[in-house]
Amino acid sequence: MFVPCDRGGGSASPDFKGFTLLMPAVSVGNVGQLAIDLVISTLDMTKVGYFYTDCLVPMVGNNPYATAEENSVELSINAEVYSLPSKKFVVLQIRSPFIKNKYRPFCQMLLSWVKSSNFARVILLSSSHAYQRDDEQLLGTPLRYLLTPDLEKAIGGLMQELNWKEMEKVAAYPGINDTEKILHIPGGGITKLLFKESCSKGIQMAVLLKFCSEGDNIPDAFALVNYLNEWLQLIKSEVSTSNNSTDTSSQWKIPSSWRLLFGNGLPPALF
């Protein structure tokens, strides 16, 4: 359940009516979560509440987006909500995996919160196993999108303009019967479930995902967040004069919590 940070003085829960909700799926390479870290850190978003749930593994730590001594002592938990009212933009960050058998209740709870808060739309950042691509998917861009029918009606044309590639359906019984096609997102965690549920509940949801493998997924996170930025224009993309590209990689702020991702310093005695 959503629990606002500020509950004193009789102030009501923050109003998210008409806002866009951005959230990650815990998926291969944690790319969605890393991309969300970049968004929160760069836009300097304010924490407005917690998503208190028994479905995620508990964890705590000090502020992962700390920039100075003063703001480094705020405690963070495994699922928190950040807001940028000027852009009508809310972000849910999830920092730990699901407890066994709890991913379904989590999806139910999340979607009912989306409905009750009257979010205009939901954008889900996710990823999928690169090794499960077919021959065609191996070529070209590794980024894909999906839109629920309700969102397709609203902005389907924009995706054409952006020249984005829709996630292909695959054969339900490969090699046996190639006519029946289904949506298959291996390694995508709850992506498929959330998407299917949103379709049936009439929620406007977009899924943005990248094919990747486990490893150093920081470049994947940058690719995904730049992909998102092509649509939402969260930060201005500078046209680089040297190669005439709109690469915004240098403008995303890496949070302080990304330090030491691959272990501690080495003991001097090793050498």
Partner 1 sequence: MATFFGEVVVAPSRAGVDDEESAEEAGEETPEDREIRRELEKKREIDVLWTLKSGAPAEGSADEPFACSKFIVAIGHSAAAFLSSFILDSVCWEVVGVVKLWNEWCRTSNTTNVLPTDSFCLFYRLISDPTVLLCQCSCYVAEDQQFQWLEKVFGCMRKEGLQVTILSTCPVADYKTQESTLTLPSPFLKALKTKEFKEQVCCPLLEQPNIVRDLPAAVLSYCQVWQIPAVLYQCYTDVIKLDTVTIEAFKPLLSSKILKSLVKDVSESTKFLKKLLTTNETHNNIYI
Q: Using CB under 8 A as the criterion, which residues of the chain lie in contact with partner 1 when the complex forms?
A: 3, 7, 25-30, 50, 52, 54, 57-64, 66, 72-75, 77-78, 97-104, 129, 131, 186-190, 192-193, 196, 213-214, 256-261, 263-269
Residue 248 and residue 237 in contact, taking contact as beta carbons nearer than 8 Å: yes
Residue (126 or 229) nearer to partner 1, CB: 126
Distance CA(103)–CA(81), nearest Å, equals: 19
DSSP 252: S
Within 10 Å of residue 164's Cβ, how many Cβ atoms? 17
- Give first-to-last CA distance, the chain, whole Å: 51
> Phi and psi for 82 in degrees, rounded to 5?
-120, 150
Q: Smallest distance from the beta carbon of 62 to partner 1, in angstroms?
A: 6
Residue (85 or 97) nearer to partner 1, CB: 97
Residue (85 or 105) nearer to partner 1, CB: 105
Within 10 Å of residue 179's Cβ, how many Cβ atoms? 7
Residue (142 or 188) nearer to partner 1, CB: 188
For 139, how many CA atoms within 13 A lie in the half-sphere containing its CB?
Answer: 2
Which residues neighbour 206 within 8 Å (Cβ) at sequence distance 6 or greater?
121, 122, 123, 124, 145, 146, 147, 148, 151
Q: Smallest distance from the beta carbon of 256 to partner 1, in angstroms?
A: 5
Residue (8 or 157) nearer to partner 1, CB: 8
Residue (67 or 245) nearer to partner 1, CB: 67
Q: Smallest distance from the beta carbon of 163 to partner 1, in angstroms?
A: 28
Q: Smallest distance from the beta carbon of 233 to partner 1, in angstroms?
A: 29
Q: Smallest distance from the beta carbon of 100 to partner 1, in angstroms?
A: 6
Distance CA(85)–CA(156), nearest Å, equals: 26
Q: Smallest distance from the beta carbon of 101 to partner 1, in angstroms?
A: 8
Distance CA(50)–CA(93), nearest Å, equals: 10
